[in-house]
Structure 1
């Protein structure tokens, strides 16, 4: 079930990004084509005034689900210089507190967002260009926030059980295997993420 949710999340983000990029590209080409004497008669009757609005909505949905994906994969950046200097026991407490605080915050945002969507759904409010019901647009807030809340709880539970946090190697390219004996010069041991409990020798 979790693997299905992971794949659905990834495909949804990729599809939204691809759709927004394609629509933006078509709109730009149409704008420049309409400004030329040769192509103006062919494209002037095509109305793409809705493209900017749709692109914005697609990026909003992508950002909300992308934030949840970031929690699951550990790509969110945080400055944790002080936390990484703490002993394992204290560092673990701060990490769990931070994850649970994130879960609480996103749960509140998701709940308030759901209440707002429920109110908007009982009105006739529509978007300016697409004229779609605005509750569909605002639905990104509760859906994305509650998914992000679930990811915070998922990471917190895994950390309590294993002492490890999800890591994202910014230098890794998907589909390319590391060659044996070659060091990754870009995989720096920085303080942008909390260290795993198991990385420190002291257990006090």
Structure 2
């Protein structure tokens, strides 16, 4: 399960890379069609109208998985001045309560989101793929430019919220066992601390 430790980073990097590549290609295409060249007619035949919509959806997915990353690394904004002034027993109770409340909320969002996705066309797609009767099911709407089923886009809600719920439970479990919460040092850059001993020894 080591791959779960940095799942959010991989997903965010993939979505960000895809959005950057799509935007770059769309911009180059837009300017290239304005120049008279042997490729102009071929370039005019390429439809890049979907690029902006795809980029928006990729950023939505990034935001959903970025929220889970925030829970895991402790970068979400929180007001804990009063809680930190409580005696250890009460502080422990309120911290666990907050973490479990976050897990309950995101779990509820994931459950309702899954129901929404299912009834928005995923049930039709599943039954159609399995060769089952779809006469009483609706195919569901599609996106304006990509013309993808919207349930694919909305999958970000149950998937991202489920991962966020898992991270809340993971943090709560680690806190209950060791009493430590994830803390993000904004001044820390990964890799720098590892290089310092090596430089000092040389």
Q: Bin the TM-score by the shorter chain.
A: 0.7 to 0.9
Q: Which residue of 2 aligns with 1:93?
A: 93
Q: Which residue of 1 aligns with 2:64?
A: 64
Contact kept, 8 Å, 2:22 with 2:51, in 1: the verdict is yes
Q: Which residue of 2 aligns with 1:19?
A: 18
Q: Deviations over 1:46-83 (max 9, x none)?
A: 32100011111111111111111111111112122222
Distance 2:188 2:31 in 1: 38
Aligned residues: 178
Equivalent residue of 2:185, what SS?
coil
Q: CA deviation at 1:153?
A: 0.6
Equivalent residue of 2:193, what SS?
coil
Distance 1:172 1:45 in 2: 48
Q: Which runs of 5+ in 1 are unaligned?
A: 181-204
Q: Which residue of 2 aligns with 1:201?
A: none
Distance 1:78 1:137 in 2: 30
Distance 2:30 2:191 in 1: 37
Equivalent residue of 1:132, what SS?
coil
Q: Which residue of 1 aligns with 2:157?
A: 141
Distance 1:145 1:10 in 2: 16
Q: Which runs of 5+ in 2 are unaligned?
A: 125-137, 198-202
- Cα 1:7–1:80 change in 2 (3 A) is closer
Q: Which residue of 1 aligns with 2:178?
A: 162
Q: Deviations over 1:68-107 (max 9, x none)?
A: 1111111112122222222222211111111011001001
- CA RMSD of superposed structures (Å): 1.9
Q: CA deviation at 1:37?
A: 4.1
Q: Deviations over 1:111-167 (max 9, x none)?
A: 000000110123321111111111111111001101111110110011011000011
Contact kept, 8 Å, 2:120 with 2:150, in 1: the verdict is yes
Distance 2:175 2:105 in 1: 19
Q: Which residue of 1 aligns with 2:113?
A: 113
Distance 1:15 1:65 in 2: 12
Query: Which structure features the higher share of helix residues?
Result: 2
Contact kept, 8 Å, 2:32 with 2:40, in 1: the verdict is no
